[in-house]
Amino acid sequence: MEIGLAVGCAFLSSALNVLFDRLAPNGDLLKMFKRDKCDVRLLKKLKMTLRSLQIVLSDAENKQASNPSVRDWLNELRDAVDTAENLIEEVNYEVLRLKVEGQHQNLGETSNQKVCDCNLCLSDDFFLNIKEKLEDTIETLEELEKQIGRLDLTKYLDSGKQETRESSTSVVDESDILGRQKEIEGLIDRLLSEDGKNLTVVPVVGMGGVGKTTLAKAVYNDEKVKNHFGFKAWICVSEPYDILRITKELLQEFGLMVDNNLNQLQVKLKEGLKGKKFLIVLDDVWNENYKEWDDLRNLFVQGDVGSKIIVTTRKKSVALMMGCGAINVGTLSSEVSWDLFKRHSFENRDPEEYSEFQEVGKQIANKCKGLPLALKTLAGILRSKFEVNEWRDILRSEIWELPRHSNGILPALMLSYNDLRPHLKQCFAFCAIYPKDHLFSKEQVIHLWIANGLVQQLHSANQYFLELRSRSLFVKVRESSEWNPGEFLMHDLVNDLAQIASSNLCIRLEENQGSHMLEQTRHLSYSMGDGDFGKLKTLNKLEQLRTLLPINIQLRWCHLSKRVLHDILPRLTSLRALSLSHYKNEELPNDLFIKLKHLRFLDFSWTNIKKLPDSICVLYNLETLLLSYCSYLKELPLHMEKLINLRHLDISEAYLTTPLHLSKLKSLDVLVGAKFLLSGCSGSRMEDLGELHNLYGSLSILGLQHVVYRRESLKANMREKKHVERLSLEWSGSDADNSRTERDILDELQPNTNIKELRITGYRGTKFPNWLGDPSFHKLIDLSLSNGKDCYSLPALGQLPCLKFLTIRGMHQITEVTEEFYGSSSSTKPFNSLEQLEFAEMLEWKQWGVLGKGEFPVLEELSIDGCPKLIGKLPENLSSLRRLRISKCPELSLETPIQLPNLKEFEVANSPKVGVVFDDAQLFTSQLEGMKQIVKLDITDCKSLTSLPISILPSTLKRIRISGCRELKLEAPINAICLEALSLEECDSPEFLPRARSLSVRSCNNLTRFLIPTATETLSIRGCDNLEILSVACGSQMMTSLHIQDCNKMRSLPEHLKEFLPSLKELILWHCPEIVSFPEGGLPFNLQVLGINYCKKLVNCRKEWRLQKLPRLRNLTIRHDGSDEEVLGGESWELPCSIRRLCIWNLKTLSSQLLKSLTSLEYLYANNLPQMQSLLEEGLPSSLSELQLHHHHNLHSLSTEGSESHVASISNDLGLP
């Protein structure tokens, strides 16, 4: 017995339901066919034939596993039904087109006039063409109908027109782990133990579904573990193994910008982890390649003593390769299994009242063989079954007898799938389109279901999703955000189940390249990359493809090839859902959508598109259009009203400059991210806003200064807009005539209590209305009050129960933060949930009234910026504070040390009285006593700062940045402190420097010579105009990266660079006009990355570079001004064949011969090379896979001699780089 084998059948049922809806007796389509009785009989014949086939689908699904003839019959039936559906959709589209064009032509007469259906008429040519194709399709369907008897298929019609059934929507709490206390304690002990090693790898190994990831999560979030490690990161490795993606995700955990240069990313990551005690979890590792593991491990070896890596894997061979002393996660005992099963199957019921159920339940739990995933999934089924016989049916199922290896799927998961009703089966199977370990959003899944006709109504789709989630088939693993909406995941084994269930109808392109299964697929995803033509050209023949979904697995911005846009997408004429999200294309072909007339879902979010193609207005079936974060898009097409079926429009953060004429979009149900610009004459009005009940997500109301009376704001009906979660209210322009009226206007703009984020900018009243601090706003998390220049008091915000982020800026009349700010007295500590607090540009603020009642108990970040008169104290006992920033507060003093036991980062800028703390050794010592966890110190523009007692710096301090302190004299270090990073900017006399692994020196204009300190591993020198001599101290052999920029007087690099810096891997030079040559003896042997940017004399002496002696050089960048001449004597300069990535600007002497010598070259970027046409014609290296061209206006052909077949991506941008 197989499972769902033909969810194909469920997909078939969906297609049939769409057809039956179209063939309804009173539908437009039937009316269009009433030319004569024969035409009507043709449609009725189609409907009757489809009904006859529909009633045997359930039996065919059951028999296809054991009967190949039934399986073939079902495949033929699916193709025929798809053909019929597309033909009927062609007719439906033509009906819509005639309606829209008729209405559009009559708009001049009256805006309300509708076109009478009886006036619509299909053209003779169109009708005859469709009729002929339809007759052929009906003939095929009739042949299939005749085979029903021979295949012995029994008629059975499922009673389910039922959309869904009641089920619990609660989610298993992943932190609630049963029976794993021993493993948890053992793993925590391993992590907290100090074994003297810089890096220890702890493998966690066990079979799929046993709870390895859940165990790792529990330990990862343990408070002792959190406090022990300075840096933590969780990376899901999975398959395929992708070192670039892993490196990017780790860097993003640091909050650092990333690009696509693997070497530079790895250098940056190594620097970032250096000296840190970190915990990194590498979840779901499959790769057994030792070299690749060793390359990855080398990124972590320079961490601080005690750093740990947890690896979870199903494979013992991986565990042995990556570490020792693996923690084996076994199955649960029968007692624990029953506890877990009982907890989730008897939810909201008392097990003692269901003794019969307990007896059966224990037997079912035993059959799950101690696997948590199986136990929770089956419990999810039984939670909604209230008859004991239903439980017995599960217990007696033949599926338990199947060996797991027959298809790799757990019997418990197969039972869970088989228990789903057909509509849920097809929705679940559709999700096979997502790769393993890919986080997907509920909103996208629902949009795709609806677009493909799997679900008809949004409400039903939400119910379906909740039911699949309640059965643990979908698991929520994080909260969504604007930047990353993905929040749900399918366990690997559940993903395998979805793949089998989808019967190859839903696949991932990378896993099926060249496979015959591509011909069967209807829904396809692929991993995005630049160009993508080579990958996607296989889609040319997929005329039945319904969904095309690019997935940004590598977390990068990509460019979609013009050949894909012009030659591939227009051929996919059956598409219902198309996403181009995260492609950086600025333009699309204007006729792109002419043939894609069946599209229901279109996603342009996060693209650089500047203008939507006009052809989008012929998508009369389009239901969902996503334009969020299209920051270059200024206007929508002129005839958007033609999108008569558009129901969902998302324009969040799309900076549209033209007003939305929403009244023209008659079918619009959901508008996300609307911006209303009010004005005195034209533009939006409050009445327009009040009439809209379909606003979701974010809403911005601008130009509120044009609202003069309270009754106007009342018309907005804001309290009823319960789906708006983010609201921005903005005034601008002149002062108010009446402060009381302004307060009344804001009072009537009170949002629904579902609001989560609120921004109020430019409010013109003197006092805020009372609703602003009302505890009934129990979902309000983020609040910003800005530029209320006439307000003399702050609202009482302290009792908002869930407020986490508060910004108060530009309130110029506030002189004191009083007790009123904390709210009425209650048992709850004021600002009980606040994590981040910012005051900025408070020009008259002098005193901060402190209650001393435990306010701000969980505050982690405090920023005070631009408060020139503030002289009072800060709140005491900010025990949770981790980051303190004080800027432009010249009168604020910290002479009395404050207790900040958990402070990690302290930043002071333009606040000299605070800066005194660092200048005075006694004060500094006293303050450090209250900052036992300090990690980062940042001091800017404290002119009075003359010294910094380095010798008493705490060992926890790892990063120091000092800028604009020109009087500062650093003392000679007398202790062994070694920082992770030290940055000096505009400090004139950096004579003595503490040791630091990463060192940056900028704009130190009195610096004429500089000795690189020992222990320096990365050095950046920039804008030191008078620096002439750079030398290397003995013991600097660990340096890996050297950047020098804008040093106009430097004539040479350090002598004996090759000997003194043997570990140097990266050398980058920018604007060093006096450097003529590299040091005698050449560059270090291990150099991998070399950048020479606008160093004119150096480039013109390139013959002496001797780069061919650098066997490990991988990346070479040369930016020039075009002044290069041919090398004297006709001898060419040479490059090593190891180069894989070459970027060249304006170097006219680059020859084809030199390029062809680069036999390992994979990527070539060329900008403004006058010889580019000849280079293309003479041929590029056969190893080249990606070519990018910029500023080559004279190219007449992109063809490359003999290389077009192997260059997978060619892009030519004639605009600015």
Distance CA(687)–CA(566), nearest Å, equals 44
* 429/164: higher pLDDT: 429
How much of the chain, in percent, has pLDDT values that exceed 90? 24
Whether residue 977 is predicted with pLDDT greater than 90 in this model: the reply is no
| 689-726 residue pLDDT tens | 888 878 888 899 888 888 888 888 888 889 999 999 99
Distance CA(604)–CA(602), nearest Å, equals 7
| 555-564 residue pLDDT tens | 777 888 888 9
DSSP string, 220-244: HT-HHHHHH-SEEEEEE--SS--HH
Whether residue 171 is predicted with pLDDT greater than 50 in this model: the reply is no
Comparing 334-343, 611-620, 857-866, 1091-1100, the range with the smallest average pLDDT is: 334-343
The pLDDT confidence band at residue 163, using thresholds 50, 70 and 90, is very low
Distance CA(675)–CA(353), nearest Å, equals 55
The pLDDT confidence band at residue 975, using thresholds 50, 70 and 90, is low
Count of alpha carbons within 13 angstroms of residue 327, beta-carbon side: 27
Tell me the residue type at 871: I
Average pLDDT over residues 461-466: 90
Distance CA(513)–CA(539), nearest Å, equals 10
Average pLDDT over residues 658-678: 79
Please give the pLDDT value at position 108: 45
Buried b (16+ CB within 10 A) or exposed e, 479-494: eeeeeeebbbbbbbbb
Please give the pLDDT value at position 19: 79
**Sign of the CA dihedral 1056, 1061, 1067, 1069?**
negative
In sequence order, the β-bridge partners of residue 784 are 759, 807
112: CB partners within 8 A, 6+ apart? none
Average pLDDT over residues 1014-1024: 89
Please give the pLDDT value at position 921: 61
DSSP string, 944-971: T--EE-GGG--TT--EEEEES-TT-EEP
Average pLDDT over residues 366-380: 79
Comparing 137-146, 168-177, 181-190, 626-635, the range with the smallest average pLDDT is: 168-177
Average pLDDT over residues 232-252: 82
* 347/708: higher pLDDT: 708
Whether residue 459 is predicted with pLDDT greater than 90 in this model: the reply is no
By CB neighbour count within 10 A (0-12 exposed, 13-18 middle, 19+ buried), where does 1171 fall? Answer: middle
The answer to whether 202 touches 325, Cβ cutoff 8 Å, is yes
Buried b (16+ CB within 10 A) or exposed e, 966-995: eebebeebeeebbbbbbbbbbbeebeebbb
pTM score:
0.73
Please give the pLDDT value at position 911: 85
Q: DSSP letter for 211, please.
A: S
Alpha helices in 526-597 (DSSP H): 533-536, 562-563
* 354/425: higher pLDDT: 425
CA distances from 138 to 30, 44, 54 (A): 17, 11, 14
Whether residue 88 is predicted with pLDDT greater than 70 in this model: the reply is yes
For residue 653, give the nearest of 639, 667, 674, 635 by alpha carbon.
674
Average pLDDT over residues 260-285: 80
Please give the pLDDT value at position 110: 41
Average pLDDT over residues 39-46: 80
Omega prior to 240 cis, within 30 of 0: yes
Please give the pLDDT value at position 1126: 67
Please give the pLDDT value at position 255: 66
Tell me the residue type at 703: G
Distance CA(63)–CA(80), nearest Å, equals 20
CA distances from 158 to 16, 424, 461 (A): 14, 14, 20
> Which of 156-165, 899-908, 1075-1084, 1111-1120 has the highest average model confidence (pLDDT)?
1111-1120
CA distances from 246 to 77, 250, 264, 266, 480 (A): 44, 6, 14, 10, 21
Please give the pLDDT value at position 44: 83
Average pLDDT over residues 1093-1120: 89
CA torsion 212→215→216→221, rounded to 10°? 160
For residue 506, give the nearest of 551, 466, 546 by alpha carbon.
546
For residue 1041, give the nearest of 274, 478, 502, 319 by alpha carbon.
274
Average pLDDT over residues 983-990: 78
Distance CA(1043)–CA(1050), nearest Å, equals 13
Looking up tokens 């009673």, which residue turns up? 159
The pLDDT confidence band at residue 795, using thresholds 50, 70 and 90, is very high
On average, the pLDDT of the chain sits at 81
Please give the pLDDT value at position 106: 58
Residue 884 host element (H or E): strand 883-887
Contacts 24+ apart (CB under 8 A), 144-152: 144/53, 144/73, 144/76, 144/77, 144/80, 145/49, 145/52, 145/53, 147/73, 148/52, 148/53, 148/56, 151/60, 151/63, 151/67, 151/69, 151/70, 151/73, 152/63
In sequence order, the β-bridge partners of residue 836 are 805, 861
Distance CA(1080)–CA(18), nearest Å, equals 77
Distance CA(1169)–CA(1194), nearest Å, equals 10
Distance CA(6)–CA(71), nearest Å, equals 8
Comparing 69-78, 939-948, 1092-1101, the range with the smallest average pLDDT is: 939-948
* 112/502: higher pLDDT: 502
- Can you give the three-state secondary structure of 335-356, one letter per residue? HHHHHHHHHHHCCCCCHHHCHH
Whether residue 35 is predicted with pLDDT greater than 60 in this model: the reply is no
Distance CA(54)–CA(56), nearest Å, equals 6
The pLDDT confidence band at residue 1214, using thresholds 50, 70 and 90, is very low
1085: CB partners within 8 A, 6+ apart? 1058, 1062, 1109, 1110, 1111, 1112
Comparing 157-171, 422-436, 813-827, 1085-1099, the range with the smallest average pLDDT is: 157-171
Please give the pLDDT value at position 1016: 87
Please give the pLDDT value at position 748: 92
The pLDDT confidence band at residue 4, using thresholds 50, 70 and 90, is very low
Average pLDDT over residues 659-681: 78
The pLDDT confidence band at residue 1130, using thresholds 50, 70 and 90, is very low
| 1152-1208 residue pLDDT tens | 888 888 999 989 999 988 888 888 888 888 888 888 888 877 777 655 444 444 555
Please give the pLDDT value at position 885: 93
Average pLDDT over residues 1047-1068: 88
Comparing 15-19, 295-299, 353-357, 729-733, the range with the smallest average pLDDT is: 353-357
The answer to whether 436 touches 492, Cβ cutoff 8 Å, is yes
What 3-state class would DSSP assign to 908? Answer: strand
Q: What is the largest CA-CA distance in the chain?
A: 103
CA distances from 903 to 303, 639, 854 (A): 22, 57, 18
The pLDDT confidence band at residue 827, using thresholds 50, 70 and 90, is low
User: What are the tokens at 1204?
Assistant: 């077009």
In sequence order, the β-bridge partners of residue 1138 are none
Looking up tokens 């087109």, which residue turns up? 97
The pLDDT confidence band at residue 659, using thresholds 50, 70 and 90, is low
Please give the pLDDT value at position 1068: 95
- Can you give the three-state secondary structure of 253-299, one letter per residue? HCCCCCCCCHHHHHHHHHHHHCCCCEEEEEECCCCCCHHHHHHHHCC
